[in-house]
Amino acid sequence: MKRIAIGIWLFLIMAARLPVEGAKASFQLNSSSAVTTSQNSYTVITGEHIRSFNSFIRVLTDGRIEVSERIVYDFYANSRHGIYRDIPYVKYTADRKKARMTIVIGGVTEPGTKAVYPFTTEDDGERLRLKIGDPNTLITGVHAYVIAYTVSGGLTYFNDHDELYWNSTGTGWQIPMEKATSEVALPEGIVPAEIRAACYTGSYGSMQQSCRHSAIRQTVNFETDSYLLPGQGLSTVVGFSKGIVQVVRPTVIIPFYERPVGRVVIAVIFVAALWWYVGYPIWIAVKWWRCGRDPKPTTGEVRAWFEPPRLASGRSLTPSEAGVLIDETADQADVFALIIHLASRGYFKIVEKKEGDFYFIKRKGYDRDQSLLPFELTFLSEMFSAEDEVRIKDKALYLTVAQVKKEIYQGLVDAELFLKNPNTIRLFYTVIAGFSLFTGNLPLLVSSLVFGLRLPRKTQKGADANAVVKSLRNFLKSQERQLNFQGKHQLLFEKLLAYAVAFGIEREWVKRFESLDLTYPVWYQAYGGGRFSSLYFINSMQSSFSSIQAASYPPAASSSGFAGGFSGGGGGGGGGGSW
């Protein structure tokens, strides 16, 4: 009874273990494959798999090896075009350096019939991929392929022997193999007793030796003991005496960073990065300290100054130039000041024919007027290029305004008030700030915004002129009513109005004349007329400028989705797909 109980107990243990081991094997396989092992160790694989992988390798005396791989592939019930085979051509030498072998593909045939399979070759820089089969034909069931290729640089040479260490099947197959064999034929002249052999199985890096080998004369045969799971393979090693085959080494791949040009490039990148992240932020701050600050003016600001500064040529600084000089930026207020200044000089009249609908009416010629500056002539030429009466709402002024601003900057540089165009300098450091943000360079971002944008520098002449401009602004901004030009209020009002606009203090200026008996300037006609009010006048002027501003920006392209709309129209776009 005791023996019977022990037998029953052992039977229950074995019965419990078999399903567990089978489940473990199935878990590691492709979802379409399954491996089972009967009690007599006969392996059965269902689903897509390789029935047999047989490689034949011939070592030639010229140092090359010829490889022929016979693959019997079972597609099972799946419909496919064919198979692909990845053949690496990069290996590691005995001293662990990466090297490139030369592989020449001989072709792909069907064993027995010698029929040629079509294939294409892809190279990813480390391996060749043979895509075998007809893209227009689907196949199923069992098919056999023979892949032939020649390798130069596949042997390894040691002090005491030469060696073929070859990954026969590879470990990159995604399906199981029932059986793998390899046959290595060595050249005549090698003493069989001096041949050494070994083989390894399993996943990459495994030292398992579930395989066996045997030698007959100069031929060594290898065979796996059991099936191979996906990701597992057979590697073979054959060592033989030196002096039989020529030395053909693979081409050592020298990493880019070890090449002379690579070292130079890395050094340049390191220096550039050091400059970009450390040196450049400091340099911008130092540059601003050394040559970005304006020189001290010869005379300081005063509270009462009634005239704009005069240049060395004898002419006065225009309102637009004064506005740019004081804040180093040509903005819309400077353009508005230009319009008032040109109108007050008699070149055109501003007429509000309907509420909010303004026209410029030409009053005198300007083609041969030597008193006009380049940016003033540009504005007049573009404004009245086609007709003498222009409706502002119908005029596109954005290109004209951009050109006018550019010429104002250049005129101040030509007049030696700025060393360089301040807008160009600001634009440059704005771009640098953008790149610094993109590269995560916070110190450079701060330095560009804090110091770079302040690098536009006035000359000594510019600093002196700026002191006068600030003094004039102080006078215009002041609310003191003690004017020194009694009886000439109208003239003073019009003369300095454009400067007040350029400084952005036009409301403070007109308030000083609110209670005085002034009349509308001859160059301006408001809609509805009525008694002149300085506040009403400036409000009306600003309304006209709103119309001019609307014409000073590019028109926005738009279309209705109801009239001519279509799928894919409107803003945005892009997309993707598959094939």
What single string gives the DSSP state of each residue in 247-290? --PPEE---GGGSHHHHHHHHHHHHHHHIIIIIHHHHHHHHHHH
Q: Are 453 and 429 in contact (CB under 8 A)?
A: yes
Task: Clarify whether residues 519 and 540 are in a common domain.
Answer: yes
Claim to verify: residue 462 and residue 445 sit in the same structural domain = no
DSSP letter assigned to residue 300: -
CA 424 to centroid of chain Cα atoms:
25
Do 494 and 430 fall within a single domain?
Answer: no
Q: For the chain, give percent helix, strand, coil, nearest 5.
A: 35, 25, 40
Q: What are phi and psi of 32, to 5 degrees?
A: -95, 5
Domain shared by 336 and 433, yes or no: no
For residue 199, give the 3-state DSSP assignment: strand
Residue with tokens 């305004």: 401
* Domain end call among 439, 456, 473: 456
Q: Is residue 448 part of a domain?
A: yes
Identify the pLDDT of residue 69: 92
Instruction: Say which amino acid occupies 127.
Output: R
Final residue of a domain: which of 196, 222, 252? Answer: 252
Contacts of 256 (CB under 8 A, 6+ apart): 262, 265
In a domain, 568, yes or no: no
Q: What pLDDT, on a 0 to 100 scale, did the predictor assign at position 302?
A: 60
Q: Are residues 390 and 265 in the same domain?
A: no
* CA dist list (Å): 424 to 228, 313, 338, 411, 575: 70, 26, 22, 14, 38
Tell me the two tokens of residue 113. Answer: 């019939």
Identify whether residues 376 and 347 lie together within a single domain. yes
Q: How many domains does the chain have?
A: 3
Please give the pLDDT value at position 553. 59
CA-derived radius of gyration, the chain:
45
Tokens of 126: 């480390």
Q: What pLDDT is recorded for position 181?
A: 93
Closest CA to 164 of 182, 188, 176: 182
User: Cα-flanking dihedrals φ and ψ of residue 8, to 5°?
Assistant: -65, -40
> Do both 150 and 247 map to the same domain?
yes
pLDDT for 542 equals 66
- ∠ Cα 508 509 512 (to 5°): 95
Q: Confirm whether 35 is domain-assigned.
A: no
Taking alpha carbons only, the member of 465, 505, 416 closest to residue 307 is 465
Long-range pairs for 377-381: beta carbons < 8 A, 24 or more residues apart: 378/403, 378/404, 378/407, 379/338, 379/339, 379/342, 379/404, 380/342, 380/347, 380/348
How far apart CA 116 and CA 96 sit, in angstroms, is: 39
Query: What does the pLDDT read at residue 109?
Result: 93
| pLDDT for the residue numbered 25 | 34
pLDDT at res. 33? 58
Residues with Cβ within 8 Å of 138's Cβ and at least 6 positions away in sequence, in order, are 79, 80, 81
Domain assignment present for 24: no
Q: Is residue 401 part of a domain?
A: yes
Identify the pLDDT of residue 498: 84
Q: Is residue 316 part of a domain?
A: yes
Neighbours of 417 (CB within 10 A): 23
Query: 278 and 247, same structural domain?
Result: no
> Would you say 498 and 524 are in contact if contact means Cβ atoms under 8 Å apart?
no
185 and 286 housed in the same domain: no
On whether both 94 and 124 belong to a single domain, the answer is: yes
368 and 494 share a domain?
A: yes
Residue 2 in any domain: the answer is no
What are 453's two structure tokens?
Answer: 């944008």
* pLDDT one digit per residue (tens) for the chain, 579 residues: 444 444 444 444 344 333 333 333 333 344 455 555 544 444 567 788 989 999 999 999 999 999 999 999 998 888 999 998 888 888 877 677 788 889 999 999 999 887 899 999 998 888 888 899 999 999 999 999 999 999 998 888 888 888 888 888 888 888 888 999 999 999 988 888 889 988 998 888 888 889 999 988 989 999 999 888 988 888 888 989 888 899 888 888 777 777 788 888 899 999 999 999 999 999 999 999 988 888 888 876 666 666 788 888 888 899 999 889 888 888 888 888 898 899 888 999 988 888 778 888 999 888 888 889 999 999 998 888 888 998 887 777 778 888 989 999 998 999 899 989 998 998 999 999 999 999 999 999 999 999 988 888 889 998 888 888 888 888 887 766 555 444 456 677 778 888 888 888 887 777 777 777 777 788 888 777 666 666 667 776 666 666 666 666 565 544 433 233 222 222 332 322 212
Q: Is 94 helix (H, G, I), strand (E, B) or coil?
A: coil
pTM: 0.55
Token digits of residue 447: 């330095």
Structural domain contains residue 32: no
DSSP tag of 112? T
Domain span at residue 181? Answer: 43-252
User: Is the domain of 65 the same as that of 109?
Assistant: yes
